Amino acid sequence: MDETPKPSKHICLTNRKPLGISSDPELDILTALADPDVLTMVRGLAKTEARSPFPDGLFGMDSKATNDAIRKMKSAGLISSRRDGNDHVYFLNKPRFKDLEKFLQELFE
């Protein structure tokens, strides 16, 4: 019997396909951030990285809400991950938040 540990189930962000971010990145970001679960994830990931799998969810959310929020964040380019053994470690994609910061600053110039 093979004793090799299997990779955990997760939403893979390390594939090398383009994220499919639209031509209106600010809309993508703001639409994702309008979801309360995405905001919960952003607040949590701003403090700590998260390691897959998430059988009990993250930051007070259940597993389904966590995975749905990760998918929305992925489509908006707000989250990144790296492999660590069989798991993935999720963290905020800070350059995307810098893009949002720049957009908001330009509104008030």
Per-10-residue mean pLDDT for the chain, 109 residues long?
Answer: 50 49 80 96 95 89 93 92 91 91 89
At 7 the pLDDT is 46
At 14 the pLDDT is 45
Range of the domain at 63: 25-107
At 91 the pLDDT is 95
Asked whether residue 9 is domain-assigned, the answer is: no
Asked whether residue 31 is domain-assigned, the answer is: yes
User: Please, what's the b/e burial string for 50-77 (b: 16 or more CB within 10 A of its CB; e: otherwise)?
Assistant: bbbebeeebbebeeebbbbbbebbbbbb
pTM: 0.76
Asked whether residue 3 is domain-assigned, the answer is: no
Question: How many structural domains comprise the chain?
Answer: 1
